[in-house]
Structure 1
């Protein structure tokens, strides 16, 4: 056994390079074999000395003009120097001496793609697939999948990867890639059948379980997805992506406690990420644990202080607790980053309205409407604020504007009714109420919420009762 093979290899290469220099300079030298020229070419190529590599290839071919290997290496260098047509000519010559070298087809493919001749590349690879078996055939299928990817024939990318896995179910590269392409092409049903077959043969293949789960998730079959992810993490307890996706599936099922457990496992296994902290914060928010939600939103915001939505989410937890000043502070942080986001302005307006700062609230609601003219929530908030502040005439005008902007959403007929009654215009109010009831009688609760006093009007009570009798409410 050699004690230091690396050192010996280095010495051999140095001796070859010395003999090569002697050859070029016409000095006495030992005879260089074909494989010696191959090593010399690789040496220059590794050093990014392409002219030197090309010179070595041409020198070698002077001594071994029928060497397909030296021709292929020369073509590879020509491709690297963007001499695509010259490379094709050299590869045609190499093919005369050995047409069974897979590198011929891979390099030809690269040349055709560089010359924007995709059809020739596809035809070449499809023909080559009939000539090779085993690992070489798989290499060609990967190459073909890359060609289809470059030319955006994405279903054919999936087909190539499927063929690879049908021949080699344990191929990790194909298992990793097909997960993405299944999601991209939406071919979840095919993926499920493929991976169930793989699992039947290889029940401890965690990547196959993961891909099966991801396909179920793509079809919104979240329970089945979770079961498959759990098999994946039993096989590989450090499979962080399985825990991550499982957490998402639990969130979709509104199983927030289970989601938190899965996502916390991700934090144990990998470097903390903003998106994981944010997702855990969302779960706590949904569970009504606003302090924990804030804690995790803050952790996310520390990792990405320029994400305005994280400050907004922190503010939302304070709004849920009616802590208006704290909410306003975080909304101001969000709005320093993005000023005119409708959600931010709507929330700020709600805080100001809760503090009875109606004029400020109206300004914020106005920004929402200017930026999103059809935003029902913005119009509703503005009208409610004007009504609460006692600006009944302005509220009526905004009801008319809201009906026009939102293609006559029935909601605004009920608010219009409230404002007309408040203005002392009962006949017009009853007409609007009748119209609203004919369209969406259940929304009468919006009228009673903003103006319960209307129930003192017998006509209003009779009209509501009439719709109740007709079982429309």
Structure 2
């Protein structure tokens, strides 16, 4: 109840302050009220209003160190570091044991990438603070900036020891364990934490995720069940439990868990997509496509939704519908490589080779340099009678895959076709040196070239 009274008082102060601004009738507020008002604006990202409140606050309380520290915070936010430093030096002379001065100095050093010195100052702040959890968290973040995950983890653990309700610290600890690939150690730590906090749904949830990463699905399932027992409104636990049940091929149970999340909150595209995938596995095609459609309606920018629909029709060999949905996806996001790859593949199946070539070309332009994309584009260009462009495309591929036999065999075939025998021989010998077995490419794609005596003689040299 105390918190509610404090919150109510803060709201009254803010209402009274904003009424003063509208009426332009200056009223007195004590320094604590100004602090609450400024914090309110800062937390809501209203920097200009926070600055005005600081200015008014200091005009009424010119000696308030806390208001000046809030001024420093705004200066640091605006990257006016020299002015912030000067003000902190003045405040240090007044209150050398004020931990917030050390914290703000550390904040400035952190912005200047001097993380080691920032940590030194934060360690000094520990000697003066009543809120060690907050300072340990800041030290942990500094170590994270330096990619020192072991020391970061240690300090976040100290933070959690000081405040076992600080779940952001718990998440950061697990982030460090994950980065270090210490899944077993993470489980051991979480179990120690759960011995003291047996109904912490966040910890059970994280235990489940660790077991999931280790592919120990039954143990993961048990952990997510405990998370749900601890908080039966915990949507994340139901989602993760659904993923585990999918791995165990218990698709109906997975659907049930995903459906619970839809009842607890607004529908999420992830849950709708997974329900669709489960129905597809169960052979419920109509329900699968219904949920894929709901997925893209809920979040048109989610590429996994459009890809699920497209791949569904691809597997059914219904290329017209697959193309229809791929075109819809491209109209929404024309920069998505995954859409263009499918566009090319579908058009290839439909023998629309000009459109297929456009898809491969677009995928390459967007940075998809997979060898299959280069090779498919080359083969499509050849089908379209554009041998020179096909050769140019393969030479671009050579820059990324200089030792790929498939590229060189294709170049050999194309050069022989345009009767540039010198370059044809160079590339066939290069390809044979790299991988003799791939000479079957010549037989499959360039049968007339393969049957040339001069080509057979070269191949026979490498048997």
- Per the TM alignment, residue 329 of structure 1 is displaced from its structure 2 partner at its CA by 1.9
CA distance in 2, matches of 1:203, 1:114: 36
Q: Give ranges in structure 1 of 5+ residues lacking alignment.
A: 15-36, 59-70, 96-103, 458-469
TM-score (ref. length: structure 1): 0.63
Q: Choose the corresponding residue for 2:133, options 141, 146, 159.
A: 141
Secondary structure, aligned partner of 1:328: helix
Query: Which residue pairs with 2:50 in the alignment?
Result: none
Query: Which residue pairs with 1:160 in the alignment?
Result: 155
Q: Choose the corresponding residue for 1:91, options 88, 95, 116.
A: 95
- Per the TM alignment, residue 76 of structure 1 is displaced from its structure 2 partner at its CA by 0.6
Secondary structure, aligned partner of 2:402: coil
- Per the TM alignment, residue 308 of structure 1 is displaced from its structure 2 partner at its CA by 5.6
TM-superposition CA deviations, 1:290-329 (whole Å, max 9, x none): 5444333322222333456643442232222222222222
- Per the TM alignment, residue 352 of structure 1 is displaced from its structure 2 partner at its CA by 2.8
Query: Which residue pairs with 1:346 in the alignment?
Result: 341
CA distance in 1, matches of 2:368, 2:231: 51
Query: Which residue pairs with 1:376 in the alignment?
Result: 371
Is 1:108 aligned to 2:105, yes or no? no
Is 1:191 aligned to 2:191, yes or no? no
Query: Which residue pairs with 1:212 in the alignment?
Result: 207
Q: Assess if the C-alpha contact under 8 Å between 1:213 and 1:226 holds in 2.
A: yes
CA distance in 1, matches of 2:336, 2:267: 28
CA distance in 1, matches of 2:405, 2:218: 38
- Per the TM alignment, residue 172 of structure 1 is displaced from its structure 2 partner at its CA by 4.8
Q: Choose the corresponding residue for 1:242, options 234, 237, 250.
A: 237
Is 1:311 aligned to 2:306, yes or no? yes
CA distance in 1, matches of 2:258, 2:308: 19
CA distance in 2, matches of 1:452, 1:284: 45
- After TM superposition, list the pairs within 5 Å mapping 1:296-335 onto structure 2: 296-307=291-302, 310-335=305-330
CA distance in 2, matches of 1:158, 1:80: 29
TM-superposition CA deviations, 1:164-217 (whole Å, max 9, x none): 444665655643553445445655444322212223444443332222233444
- What value does the CA root-mean-square deviation take over the aligned residues? 5.3
TM-superposition CA deviations, 1:315-363 (whole Å, max 9, x none): 2322222222222222222222444644433322333333333344344
Query: Which residue pairs with 2:123 in the alignment?
Result: 126
CA distance in 2, matches of 1:437, 1:246: 52
1:169 and 1:337, CA in 2 relative to 1: closer, same or farther beyond 3 A?
A: closer
CA distance in 1, matches of 2:254, 2:438: 35
Larger radius of gyration: 1
1:197 and 1:119, CA in 2 relative to 1: closer, same or farther beyond 3 A?
A: same
CA distance in 2, matches of 1:53, 1:430: 84
CA distance in 2, matches of 1:352, 1:123: 62
Is 1:270 aligned to 2:265, yes or no? yes
Q: Assess if the C-alpha contact under 8 Å between 2:109 and 2:118 holds in 1.
A: no
CA distance in 2, matches of 1:448, 1:149: 60
1:305 and 1:370, CA in 2 relative to 1: closer, same or farther beyond 3 A?
A: closer
CA distance in 2, matches of 1:84, 1:223: 55
TM-score (ref. length: structure 2): 0.64
Is 1:41 aligned to 2:38, yes or no? no
Q: Give ranges in structure 2 of 5+ residues lacking alignment.
A: 14-27, 39-52, 73-86, 453-462
Q: Assess if the C-alpha contact under 8 Å between 1:403 and 1:409 holds in 2.
A: no
CA distance in 1, matches of 2:278, 2:412: 40
Q: Assess if the C-alpha contact under 8 Å between 1:85 and 1:111 holds in 2.
A: no
CA distance in 1, matches of 2:364, 2:107: 52
CA distance in 2, matches of 1:403, 1:52: 65
Secondary structure, aligned partner of 2:404: coil
